Amino acid sequence: MAFGKVYVFGPTFRAEKSKTRRHLTEFWMVEPEVAFNDLDDNMDLAEAFLEHIVQSVLKNRSSELRTLERNTTLLENVRRPLPRISYDEAVEILRKKGVDFQWGNDLGGTDETLVSEQFDRPVMVHRYPSEIKAFYMKRDPANPKVALAVDVLAPEGYGEIIGGSQREDDLDALLARLKEHKLPQEAFEWYLDLRRFGSVPHAGFGLGVERTVSWICGLEHLREAIPFPRMIYRLSP
């Protein structure tokens, strides 16, 4: 809180049996967090960050993209403002495409691809059902059934590259969420103390480095974007 704007860059570990071209057991993330930001501020920061990354690569690394035979047409479209749609609107897109998608389900890889096909640049999907999002994501005061969360979906079938939210800054609301999710309170006392002894509204997100590199470079598999890919059955070297 003393700094107001902070970020961390480091490895992240995925303890699930995901075996797709979009998943690694260990990947890297950039995670900014900003005091007094709400969901809209968070989306503003995410789209500015993405625009800067992509346009910098196009400007400074165009020769490498040519070597990779990357079609940069869609990359050149990555400029603010990025399209923003609600989860409800994403559900409507899927249903119009003939998908029997039930409200309340999370978007799978195929769903993300179908939604992103509607746009010529990354699309921001916000206000997901609170039941499928983490306990620390703040609920929308206007509609408690949804969380003030956002995912950024890359085009061309690369899926989610950013996930974030406005955080729940109310202690009592956090305690209620822990009970709803059947999580042990003692394991989160350190986190609760951050609210118990004074907090402010804040928001942040995580950008998956390998997914972003995969999309920008037009790679077939996430493992091509990291020197030593950690998969379910590969932990070394």
DSSP string, 39-57: HHHHHHHHHHHHHHHHHHH
pLDDT in tens, 80-108: 999 999 999 999 999 999 999 999 999 99
Distance CA 104, CA 161 (A): 21
Q: Looking at residue 236, what is its pLDDT?
A: 80
User: Predicted confidence band at 1 (pLDDT cuts at 50, 70, 90)?
Assistant: confident
Closest of 122, 127, 145 to residue 38, by C-alpha: 127
Closest of 152, 138, 164 to residue 33, by C-alpha: 164
- Mean pLDDT lowest among 121-130, 170-179, 222-231: 222-231
* 138 contact partners, CB below 8 Å, separation of at least 6: 147, 148, 165, 166, 167, 168, 169, 173
pTM of the model: 0.93
* Beta-strand relationship, 84-86 and 123-126: parallel
- CATH class for the region spanning 29-225: alpha beta
Q: Looking at residue 2, what is its pLDDT?
A: 85
pLDDT in tens, 60-86: 999 999 999 999 998 999 999 999 999
At residue 11, φ and ψ (nearest 5 deg) are -75, 150
Tokens matching residue 66:
């040519």
Residues written for the chain: 237
